[in-house]
Amino acid sequence: MTVTGAHRLLPAEWMPQSGIMLIWPHGHTDWNEDLAAVEAVYLQLAQGITSYEKLLVVCHSDAHLQHVSGCLNEAGISAHRVRYAVQPSNDTWARDSGPITVLEDGTARLLDFRFNGWAGKFEHDLDDRITAGLIAQGIFDNVPAEHVELVLEGGSIDSDGAGTLLTTTSCLLHPDRNPGLSRDELEIQLRHHLGVEHILWLQHGSLAGDDTDGHIDMLARFCDTGTLACSVCEDPTDENTPALSTMRAELAQLRQPDGQPYRLIDLPIPAPIYDEAGQRLPGSYANFLIINTAVLVPLYNDTNDAVAMAKLADAFPDREIIGIDCRPLIRQNGSLHCITMQLPASIPI
């Protein structure tokens, strides 16, 4: 690992963006049995995104690209707002298989971390090559890029854009991600590659049905440098209550670099959602996506939908709050933020 002396910064999601990357669902993914419903969510998301910025759509094949472009055109989305690329994929979780962008002395740099299917749980050979494939095709023009021989998923980290990173020990220290790497050694890598100075480790917090080992973007998120939105559950009969209550208490003890506590915004999780086999699904409003002048919020046809929208409107008073029905997405244990990856303003689309 070479230390260059250049200053790196991991941007906050609320910083200006050129666009959002989506990997469009196709028949070779787990979405196949519910493809029409899932594509409808993607179309709604694409319409919301392209109202504010551009969209990079990664398709599985040339034929798939023709299908997707036809769908977007039929939905009234301007071709000038969308760029397409062809790169095969196992799945469509762009947050975890897409590039993570840092600013190095103010210049964008794409980082291609390894992706191993959430600690080897799912097929991932194609997904692990998505970022490298897009870079090789010149999709990001001449933006500098580097491969990093470290397993790291975008959904497992959240940045305040000022040098502080929020993450979980359950995910980043999972033995099947970077075996043999201690917490101290991992911190050295994170500081070097991402330019972070202050790492906040959550040791508690989980959602039943989550197969990512505790991605932070389902649990707690920065809304600004001094505010954290967090998933909460106060129902004493809900299996998620003990872990989320302990996590909230842990968040209340965290301090900003200046020693001040964080303002906490409670996002009550939706009522239990189950799949056909009776397995609990990880519904969460913390899986929101911040785009230019708007916030897209996952909804679940639940009474807490309106509560979450109102609380996020309070957290983001200068942004429009837009709800997206994500019930088809949660059937595969993820939601809105999980299928997207923001590209900072200096990344051309």
Which residues belong to the active site? 338
Q: Can you give 151-204 as a three-state secondary structure string?
A: ECCHHHEEECCCCEEEEEHHHHCCCCCCCCCCHHHHHHHHHHHHCCCEEEEECC
Instruction: Produce one character per residue of 108-122: b if its CB has 16 or more CB atoms within 10 Å, e if not.
Output: bbbbbbbbbbbbeee
| Number of Cβ within a 10 Å radius of residue 288 | 28
Give the integer Cα–Cα distance in Å for 292 and 53. Answer: 7
**Is residue 25 within 8 Å of residue 42, measured between CB atoms?**
yes
Q: How far is CA 100 from CA 203, 205, 233, 344, in A?
A: 24, 24, 31, 10
Give the integer Cα–Cα distance in Å for 74 and 187. Answer: 47
Q: Is 51 exposed, middle or buried (0-12, 13-18, 19+ CB in 10 A)?
A: middle
267 forms bridges with which residues in the sheet?
231
| Number of Cβ within a 10 Å radius of residue 150 | 17
| Number of Cβ within a 10 Å radius of residue 273 | 18
Spatial CB neighbours of 292, under 8 Å, sequence gap ≥ 6: 16, 17, 52, 53
Strand, coil or helix: what is 26?
A: coil
